[in-house]
Amino acid sequence: MIQIENLKFQYPRAEFMLRLPRLDIEAGKRVAIVGPSGCGKTTLLNLISGIALPLAGSVTVCGEEVSAMPDASRRNFRIANIGMVFQQFELVEYLDVLSNILLPFSINATLTRSPEVRSRAIEFAEAIGLEGKLTRRPAQLSQGEQQRVAICRALITEPGVVLADEPTGNLDPENKRRILDLIFQLAEKQNQTLIVVTHDMGILSGFDRVVDFQEMRFSNGAEESAGAVRASIGEQA
Amino acid sequence: MSGPLGLAWRYVLFHKAKSLILVLCIVLTTILPVAVKLLVWQFDQKIVARAASTPSIVGAKGSSLDLVLSALYFKQGVIEPVAYAEVERARGDGLASSIPLHCMFTAMDYPIVGTSLEYFDYRELEVGAGTRFVSLGDCVVGQKVAELLSVNVGDQIISDRDNVLDLAGQSPLKLNVVGVLEASRTPDDWAVFVDLKTAWVIQGLGHGHQDLNKEAPDSPVLIASESGRIIANRGVVSYIEITDENVDSFHFHGETDEFPVTAILVSARGFKEETILQGRYESSDSEVQFVRPEIVVRDLMTIVFQVNRFFNANAILIGGSTAMLLVLVVLLSLRLRKREMETMFRLGCSRGTIVWLQVGEMGIIFGVAMVFVMLGSTWVWLVSGDIVEGLLVNGR
C-alpha cells in the first residue's frame, strides 16, 4: 500500500536531513510512528501525502508514485486518497460543523459535492456523536467534539490512507482513548490504512505496528559521510 | 453556494464588523467624489442651460454675475435696482422685447418675482392648475413651492416682512394663489410670480386703505377735512389683502417710471439687433449694463471646474490612502489566516484556489460597496437637480 525506498529529505537551508532506506506499510494496517519532537515524524506524513517532495528516493501510495507526480496531480491524488487529521484540529472558524466536514469538496474542483455526499457527512457526524451540532461553529464545540469534526472531514472523501498527526495531542486522557478508538473503528470499517504520528507512548496499544524514530538517526552532511545513518523498525506483536 | 466563492461569502458574513468597516471605507471614499462630480455636472448643465435660454439681461452696473444670478435665480439684495423706465429703453425702439423682473421679497422664504405675463411665454411655463395672475394681489406659484408649502389654487400665502424687527416697516401682503405652474425643473419651480404692480405694493410703493371720503366728519381717523382736502391720522386702516371690494382703493404714489426693477430680460430680434443694443449700452454713461448670461456663467463654470480639479486631486489622494490601508488590512488578515490557508493546502486545495478565495472575499466586499455606491449615486442623481435648483434659488 505504502512503499518508501531510499528516501532522503532536507528542508531548504536546514541542517536536518531525514533518511529512510525502506518502509513498507500494508493496506488496512494501523501504524503508529513515535519519536521525540523534531525527529521528522510530521515530515514523513508530508512526504507520504505529497505535500513535500524527497530529494531522493521514492514514495508510492496505493500503487502510485506520489513523489514523481506533478503538483496538480499530487494535489488531486491527496484529496482523493489521503485523509488528514491534525493535532490542532485546524477547523475553519467561520464554517459550521457540516461545512467543515464538507470542506474538501469546497476547495477542490475534482470532488463533486452531491446530495449523497451531504447525506454521508450528516450520517458520519451523527454516528460519532455530533448530532444536533451540525450548525454550530467550531468555537461552540468542546475540544473532543472539534477533533471528531476533523476526523469526519478526513474520512468524508473515503480515502485509502488516513494520516493523523498527533490527533490526541490536545485532548485530555479520557478523550484521547475515545478519539483513537473512534479513528480505529472508522478506519477499520472502510478498510483504510491508518498512520498516526504521536510522541505519546501511552496510546500505542491497538496499533498493528509501531515505527520508532527514536532508534533512527538523522544526520547533517558530516554524520552522513561518517556512515552514522541507520534505521530501525520495530514490529509489535 | 459552495466552492471558493461560497467560502469567501461565508467568511465575509462571519466577520460582519470587519466587512462592514471595509465596505464603509470604500463607499465613503468613492461616493463623496462621485456625488460631488454629479452635483457639479448637474450644476453645470442646469446653470448653463438656464443662461443659454436667456439671451441678454439689462441691470444696474456692478457685478455681472450678481446681475445674472438675480435675473436667473431671483437672488434678493445682491444688486441695485434700476428704474422701470429702463424696461422701455431696453426695447431699443423695436430692436428687442423686454420683460421686467422685480426680485426683492419673499413669501414663506420663497422668492416673489414681480414680472409681466410675457415672462410665462418667454420661459415656456405652463399653468397646471388655475390661471395666470390677472389682477393686483394674485400670484402664481411654482410647482415646488406648491408642493413644499402645500398650497393650491384658492389658498393664500403671505409675503415675508423685510425686517421682522421693524414694526413700523412695510406690512406683509396676503397673496391669492390663482395658479400653480407645471413642473419645469428650473428655478421657476421655486418662485412665486406676481404682477410687477403687486410687487411694488409689497414694497410699499402702492397701497390701499379705507376710503376717507366715506368717513363721517367726526370720524376718529380724520384730523381735518376742508375743501376736498382730507388729512387723516395713523388710525387709517391700510389693507393687507387685496380683494374685489378694496382693489379700487389701491394706488401708487410717484411716477411708475421711477419705480424699481431688479433686472430686465431682453430678447433682441436677431443677432444684429442684439449687437446694436449692446453697443448702445456700452457706449453710454448710464448706470446700466447689458450682459450675456451664457458668457458670464461659462466664466463662472471655468472657475468652478478649476476648483473641482483640486477636489479631484484630493479625492485621488484620499482614495489612494484608503486603498493602501485596505491592502494593509488584507495583508494583516492573510497573516492571521496563514494556518487556515495552510490547512486548506494540506487538504488538497491549490495555491490558485486559495488566491481565488482571497480575491473572492475582496470582490464581495467591493461588490457590496459598489452596490451602495451605485444606489447612493442614483439617489444623488435623482435629487441633484432639485438640490442644485434649491441651492441656486435660495440656498435651500
* Neighbour tally for B340: CB within 10 Å: 18
Of B122, B37, B110, B69, nearest in space to B396 by CA: B110
User: What ipTM does this complex have?
Assistant: 0.80
Between the CA atoms of B64, B66, B72 and B73, what dihedral angle is there, to the nearest 10 degrees? 170
Residue A229 banded pLDDT, cuts 50, 70, 90? very low
Cβ-proximal residues to B5 (8 Å cutoff; 6+ apart), any chain:
B356, B360
Q: Which residues of A touch B346 (CB under 8 A)?
A: 49, 51, 84, 86
Best B336, B337, B343 residue to mutate vs chain A (most A CBs within 10 Å): B343
pLDDT value, residue B244: 80
Give the closest residue to B116 by CA, choosing from B289, B267, B265: B265
Of B3, B13, B350, the CB nearest to A106: B3
Q: Is there a contact between B7 and A75 if contact means CB atoms under 8 Å apart?
A: no
Residue B64 has pLDDT above 80, yes or no: yes
Which of A39-43, B19-23, B217-221 holds the top average pLDDT?
Answer: B19-23
Residue B241 forms beta bridges with which residues? Answer: B174
The pLDDT score that the predictor gives to residue B213 is 67
State the pLDDT confidence band at B371, using cuts at 50, 70 and 90. Answer: very high
Residue A154 lies in a domain: yes
φ, ψ of residue B225 to 5 degrees: the values are: -150, 100
Q: Report residue A169's pLDDT band, with 50, 70 and 90 as the boundaries.
A: confident
Are B72 and B50 within 8 A, CB to CB? yes
Chain A interface, mutation test: which of B14, B343, B347, B354, most A Cβ atoms within 10 Å?
Answer: B347
Q: According to the model, what pLDDT value does residue A235 have?
A: 38
Nearest to A199 by CA among A210, A209, A208: A210
In a domain, A59, yes or no: yes
Q: How much is the pLDDT for A204?
A: 84
| Contact at CB, B7 and A108, closer than 8 angstroms | no
SS3 of chain A: helix, strand, coil, percent, to 5: 40, 20, 40
Q: Nearest residue on chain B to A51, judged by CA atoms?
A: B346
- The residue written with cell numbers 384658492 in the block is B154
CB contact residues (below 8 A), chain A span 83-122, against chain B: 84, 86, 88, 90, 92-95, 99, 102-109, 113
For residues B187, B190, B191 and B192, what is the CA-based torsion angle, rounded to 10 degrees?
A: 150
Mean pLDDT of B27-55: 87
Q: Tell me: the pLDDT tens digits for B277-307?
A: 888 888 767 788 999 999 999 998 888 888 8
The contact set of B with A (CB < 8 A) is 2-4, 6-7, 10-11, 13-15, 339-340, 343-350, 353
Using CB atoms, which residue from B10, B14, B339 is nearest to A90? Answer: B339
Assess if residue A237 is contained within a domain. Answer: no
| Residue B3 with chain A: CB contacts under 8 Å | 106, 109
pLDDT digit string, tens, across residues B40-49: 888 888 888 8
Of B15, B339, B353, the CB nearest to A107: B353
The rounded percent of chain B whose pLDDT value lies above 90 is 35
Identify whether A233 is part of a domain. Answer: no
| Strands, E assignment, chain B | 56-60, 82-83, 96-107, 110-115, 127-130, 138-141, 156-158, 174-181, 192-195, 206-207, 222-226, 229-232, 251-252, 260-261, 263-268, 288-291
Question: Between A and B, how many residue pairs show a Cβ–Cβ distance under 8 A?
Answer: 62
* Per-residue pLDDT tens over the stretch A104-148: 998 888 888 888 999 989 988 888 888 889 999 999 999 889 988
Q: How far apart are the first and last CA of chain B?
A: 48
Is residue A221 over pLDDT 60? no
Share of chain A above pLDDT 70, in %: 90
CB atoms within 10 A of CB B127: 16
Query: Is A15 within the bounds of a domain?
Result: yes
Domain count along chain A: 1
**B interface test, pick of A106, A108, A162, A163 with most B CB neighbours within 10 Å:** A106
**Which one is predicted more confidently, B339 or B220?**
B339
pLDDT reported for residue A41: 86
Is the pLDDT at A226 greater than 80, yes or no? no
Report CB contact under 8 Å: A90, B14: no
Q: Is residue A20 in a domain?
A: yes
Question: Which one of B7, B339, B350 has the shortest CB-CB distance to A106?
Answer: B7
Instruction: Give the chain A residue whose CA is nearest to the CA of B353.
Output: A107
- Pairwise CB contact (< 8 Å): B339 & A78: no
pLDDT at B207: 78
CA B360 to each of CA B13, B184, B261, B293, B340: distance values in angstroms, whole numbers, following the listed order: 13, 47, 65, 53, 16
- Chain A residues lying within 8 Å of B6, measured CB to CB: 106
Chain B's closest residue to A75, CA to CA, is B348
The minimal CB distance from B348 to the residues A79, A88, A94 is found for: A79
Residue A232 inside a domain? The answer is no
| Nearest chain A residue (CA) to B357 | A107
Assess contact for A104 and A110: CB atoms under 8 A.
Answer: no
- The per-residue DSSP string of A66-79 comes to GGGS-HHHHHHHHH
Contact between chains at B347 and A79 (C-beta distance less than 8 A): yes
| Chain B residues in contact with A92 (beta carbon < 8 A) | 7, 340, 343
DSSP tally for chain A: helices H, then strands E: 8, 9
Mean model confidence pLDDT for chain B: 86
* Model pLDDT, residue B394: 64
Residues sharing a CB contact under 8 Å with residue A221, sequence separation 6 or more, in sequence order: A17
Strand intervals (E) in B248-306:
251-252, 260-261, 263-268, 288-291
Confidence grade of residue A236 (pLDDT, cut at 50, 70, 90)? very low
Which of B7, B346, B354 to mutate to test binding with chain A, by most A CBs within 10 Å of its CB? B346
For the stretch A123-162, what's the b/e string if a residue is b when 16 or more beta carbons lie within 10 angstroms of its beta carbon? ebbeebebeebbebbbeebeebbbbbbbbbbbbbbebbbb
One DSSP character per residue, A191-207 reads T-EEEEEES-GGG-TT-
Judged by CB atoms closer than 8 Å, whether chains meet at A103 and B11 is answered as: no
Q: Among A130-139, A207-216, A222-231, B336-345, whose mean pLDDT is lowest?
A: A222-231
Q: What's the mean pLDDT in A47-64?
A: 91
In chain A, whose CA is at the least distance from the CA of B15?
Answer: A94
The model's confidence at residue B269, banded by pLDDT at 50, 70 and 90, is: confident
Q: What is the mean pLDDT of chain A?
A: 83
pLDDT at B366: 93
Judged on CB neighbours under 10 Å (0-12, 13-18, 19+), B382 is exposed
Q: Is the pLDDT of residue A49 over 50?
A: yes
Q: Per DSSP, what are the bridge partners of residue B172? A: none
Residue A190 falls within a domain, yes or no? yes
Of A93, A104, A113, the CB nearest to B347: A104
Contact check, Cβ <8 Å, B10/A99: yes
State which residues form the domain around A111: 2-225
- So where are chain B's domains? 3-47+300-394, 63-81+98-208+250-260
Residues in chain B within 8 Å Cβ distance of A93: 14, 340
CA nearest neighbour of B291 among B47, B62, B44: B62
Q: Which of B2, B13, B345 sits opposite A106 (nearest CB)?
A: B2
The mean per-residue pLDDT over the stretch B248-255 comes to: 81
Distance between start and end Cα atoms, chain A? 20
Is any Cβ of chain B less than 8 angstroms from the Cβ of A11?
no
Burial B79-94 (b: 16+ CB within 10 A, else e): bebbbbebbebbbbee
CATH code of residue A43: 3.40.50.300
Instruction: Check CB contact under 8 Å for A103 and B344.
Output: yes
Nearest chain A alpha carbon to B346: A51
Q: Inform me whether the pLDDT recorded for B210 exceeds 80.
A: no
Q: Nearest by CB to A107, from B11, B14, B347: name it.
A: B347
Question: From the DSSP assignment, how many helices (H) and strands (E) are in chain B?
Answer: 11, 16
